[in-house]
Amino acid sequence: MPAIYVAGCNLRCLYCLNRDLVKEECPTLDAAAVALEIRNALEPWIMVSGAEALMNPKTPNLLCYLKDLGFRVALATNGSYFDTLKRIIEDKIVDHISMDVKAPLLLERYQEISPVGVTKRSMEQIVKSVEYVRDYPYPSVISHHFRTTVCGKYLDFDDIREIAEHLGPRSTYVLQYYTTHQTLDPQLANDEYVVSYETLVEWAGRLKTTVGNIYVSEV
């Protein structure tokens, strides 16, 4: 799926691979020009992602613009801007939500991965977003999936099972294979923290009755 990336992120997860986007060091993107180029290629879907796209107050306008161009629009988010996310869903300017769940939904677990970005308030926002998206009446308006990047320094099978149980049988859950190039914290660019693809497939098999759908992604 083609994507437009919005710079800037409030969480700054240590294993993040989009470090230039997180630090807002990427060049300014002419989103309108990119969207028109993709539209001319007859692509039906477009993803608006980041870093954290909802950190930018102009993102809802971008989503509306893309819908007006005829795209089906997907939004990737970490869930920490609940009010904006709820409004976007209620206004029906997205067709799919892709939400990261970094760890079991506890402040101390999120702060292991994002020690400078996660506060008590942002954690409350994340929990509200996860549960709102989880419980929304799909597929009448939009679809969704949740995604966890499985970095072995922070997560094991019991953690993934806890997340899956929270998401429940109406959710689609993606286990994201951890890659180590260009991590925000260079010390995490370490193969020691990679959980093998085969292990993730085995974990997914053990949890297939816990969530509606579960699969492993390498990208």
What is the per-residue pLDDT for 8? 87
SS3 sequence of 123-192 = HHHHHHHHHHHHHCCCCCCCEEEEEEEEECCCCCHHHHHHHHHHHCCCCEEEEEECCCCCCCCHHHCCHH
Rounded Cα gap, residues 30 and 27, in angstroms: 10
Joined together, the tokens standing for residue 18 give 């989009």
**What average pLDDT does this structure show over 11-29?**
72
Residue 23 pLDDT > 70, yes or no?
no
CB 16 within 8 A of CB 189: no
34-38, 77-81, 123-127: range with lowest mean pLDDT: 34-38
Q: In this structure, which topology does domain 3-217 adopt according to CATH?
A: TIM Barrel (3.20.20)
Q: Residue 119 has what pLDDT?
A: 95
What average pLDDT does the segment 87-112 reach?
A: 96
pLDDT score, position 182: 82
> How is the chain split into domains, by residue range?
3-217
